Amino acid sequence: MATEVLVPVLGESITEATVGEWLKQPGDAVAADEPIASLETDKVSVEVPSPVAGVMGAHAVQVGDTVQVGAMIATIEAGGGAAAAPSAPAAASAPAAQAAAPVAVAPAGDAVALSPSVRRAVLEHGVDPSTITGTGKDGRLTKEDVAAAAQAKPQAAAAPAGAGPSSNGGDATAGRAGSGRREERVKMTRLRQTIAKRLKEAQNTAAMLTTFNDVDMTAVIEARAKYKDLFEKKHGVRLGFMGFFVKAATMALKDIPAVNASIEGDEIVYHDYADISVAVSAPNGLVVPVIRDAQDLSVAGIEKTIGDFGKRAKDGTLKMDEMKGGTFTISNGGVFGSLMSTPIINPPQSAVLGLHRIEERPVVRDGQVVVRPMMYLALSYDHRLIDGREAVTFLVALKNAIEDPTRILIDL
């Protein structure tokens, strides 16, 4: 007897989702509560668990299809006792195990088992997914896995097989012509569509302006180097730079409340709390979970929260409620090597802080040219609500706190 697999409740006001990935193929043995599919909503990916143990039946929908809450997407057939009870005699589940073997041995090589974003990365980098070890949940490939494999691939692998060691005078275009030119059309994920829509709405609605400053990271770097081992030993989390910036931002937001405010109709809404949205890279795109009441957290508490967000973003287990709200956003493009950018506001917020890479630059201190680790800061803001004076004052307050971390301790 077959058991239907239904789309679960996805969250308040969420009525539909897109099938992002099938984690189990027809014939695979499935345990009760084992994820069999991944659905993409406007904010996060949601895994669909199997209601019973058995064997994966037919898929009722395909990757990329839009499904409604409560809709049937697959069936689980009776059998496959090995999935529910590994200690049972192997002979009882041999047919199911044999049917599952081709997928279980090399899931990365099956294009159907790759999410659209990973398939796109495989094509862009020209790597064989079956040779890559996945670091995602249940060993699945992520975009980061593909990029790392491409970076590690020997340069010689890009050369045509027929090109000998003395091919300097050969026809360099022959290999490219022989390999052909390929294109693939991949439907935008629901998450990417939502990101595109919201960012474009922000540009169309807000009177957006970006103000820059730079900050000397010497003091924070020295403090981190001095205390990172003790910090990790006591709190169980690594001491990074984001803890300092989030804490400094909450202090600056308290002094400049307009930067923490939002516009609703013809009213300005001021917040006496700082819910900081932190942009985190996930396999299917950028997600922005929220650190609630960040003004009440210590640097250790902030680092623990960010670390947890990062891990669960990679696993695809962030919850809807964790993505809602937020009064101010911090985006750290520096981890990818960005030197400078003009970040886009996350509506209905009125400002976003962009952090960038740290690099040594010559600066003047006490009349002497010295080399310091410097970072550019960028504050994009809605000029309808925030004046230039307030934006500059906010950046200066943030700069002062980072260059003299003692200010964070004494709330100055």
pLDDT tens per residue, range 125-154: 777 777 888 877 667 777 778 888 887 765
Whose tokens are 């691939």? That residue is: 153
Chain centroid, CA 320 distance in Å: 14
What residues contact 270, with CB distance under 8 A and at least 6 apart?
257, 258, 260, 261
Confidence of residue 117 (pLDDT cuts 50, 70, 90): low
Burial 298-314 (b: 16+ CB within 10 A, else e): ebebbbbbbbebbebbb
Signed CA dihedral, 250, 254, 255, 261: sign only: positive
Q: How far apart are alpha carbons 328 and 246 in whole angstroms?
A: 10
212 CB burial (10 A radius; 0-12, 13-18, 19+): middle
Q: How confident is the model over 200-213, as pLDDT tens digits?
A: 888 888 899 999 99
Confidence of residue 188 (pLDDT cuts 50, 70, 90): confident
CA gap 360, 374 in Å, rounded? 6
239 and 387: one domain? yes
Strands (DSSP E) found in 23-61: 29-30, 35-40, 45-49, 54-59
Q: Does residue 120 fall inside a structural domain?
A: no
Position 124 in a domain: no
What confidence tier does 214 reach under pLDDT thresholds 50, 70, 90? very high
- Residue 377 host element (H or E): strand 368-382
CA 309, 313, 315, 319 torsion-angle sign: positive
By the 8 A CB rule, do 139 and 115 touch? no
Residue 337 lies in a domain: yes
Element (DSSP H or E) covering residue 396? helix 388-403
Predicted local distance difference test score (pLDDT) of residue 404: 94
Give the least confident one: 99-108, 182-191, 202-211, 399-408.
Answer: 99-108
| Number of domains observed in the structure of the chain | 2
Please check the confidence at residue 160 and state whether its pLDDT lies above 70: no
Four-residue CA torsion sign, 89, 94, 100, 104: positive
Q: Above 50 in pLDDT, residue 378?
A: yes
Mean local confidence (pLDDT), 342-362 = 94
Task: Answer whether residue 287 is part of any domain.
Answer: yes
61 vs 90, more confident:
61
Same domain for 247 and 362, yes or no, is: yes
Amino acid at 242: M
Residue 397 pLDDT exceeds 90: yes
8 A C-beta contact, residue 132 and residue 119:
no
Shared domain check, 348 and 234: yes
Give domain status of residue 169, yes or no: no
Q: For residue 227, what pLDDT is reported?
A: 93
> Which of 33, 293, 383, 404 does the annotation list as catalytic?
383
Q: Do 402 and 261 lie in a common domain?
A: yes
Has residue 223 got a pLDDT over 50? Answer: yes
| Residue 372 β-bridge partners | 361
Evaluate whether residue 156 is within a structural domain.
no
**pLDDT value of residue 112:** 39
Question: What percentage of the chain reaches a pLDDT higher than 90?
Answer: 40
Which pLDDT value is given to residue 100? 39
DSSP of 211-264, one letter per residue? Answer: EEEEEE-HHHHHHHHHHHHHHHHHHSS---SHHHHHHHHHHHHHHSGGGG-EEE
- At residue 356, the pLDDT reads 95
> Long-range contacts of range 24-27, CB-CB < 8 Å, 24 or more positions apart?
24/50, 24/56, 25/56, 25/100, 25/103, 25/110, 25/112, 25/113, 26/56, 26/57, 26/58, 26/59, 27/55, 27/56, 27/96, 27/99, 27/100, 27/103
pLDDT of residue 85: 39
Measured CA to CA, the distance from residue 249 to residue 299 in angstroms comes to: 12
| Confidence band, pLDDT 50/70/90 cuts, at residue 280 | confident
**Is 166 part of a structural domain of the chain?**
no
91 and 222 inside one domain: no
Q: What is the pLDDT of residue 305?
A: 94
Q: Which residue among 46, 75, 105 closes a domain? A: 105
Alpha helices per DSSP H over 155-217: 172-179, 190-205
Looking from the CA of 202 toward its CB, the CA atoms found within 13 Å total: 22
Is residue 219 domain-shared with residue 73, that is, in the same domain?
Answer: no
Q: Are 225 and 346 in a shared domain?
A: yes
Among the listed residues 410, 402, 412, the one whose alpha carbon sits nearest the alpha carbon of residue 222: 402
97 and 235, same domain (yes or no): no
- In angstroms, the CA 63 to CA 20 distance is 6
Is 387 one of the annotated active-site residues of the chain? yes
C-alpha span between 402 and 213 (Å, rounded): 13
Please return the burial class of 65, using the count of CB atoms within 10 Å of its CB with bins 0-12, 13-18 and 19+: middle
Give 311's pLDDT tier (boundaries 50, 70, 90): confident
Q: Which domain holds residue 31?
A: 3-105
User: Mean per-residue pLDDT for 25-53?
Assistant: 84
pLDDT averaged over every residue in the chain: 81
Report the run of H or E that residue 277 belongs to, with start and end: strand 276-278
Show which of 73, 105, 137 is a domain's final residue: 105
Q: Is the pLDDT score of 376 beyond 50?
A: yes
Answer whether residue 63 is part of any domain: yes
pLDDT computed for residue 244 by the predictor: 95
Residue 66's CATH number:
2.40.50.100
Dihedral, CA atoms, 167, 168, 171, 176, nearest 10 degrees?
80
**What average pLDDT does range 316-335 have in this prediction?**
87
pLDDT for 233-264, tens place per residue? 999 999 999 999 999 999 999 999 999 999 99
Last residue of a domain, one of 85, 105, 125: 105
Confidence of residue 300 (pLDDT cuts 50, 70, 90): very high
Pairing of strands 351-355, 328-332: parallel
CATH number for position 234: 3.30.559.10
The active-site residue out of 296, 321, 387, 404 is 387
Verify whether residue 65 is a known catalytic residue.
no
More confident residue, 282 or 92: 282
Reported confidence tier of residue 82, pLDDT bands at 50, 70, 90: very low
Percentage of the chain modeled with pLDDT above 70: 81
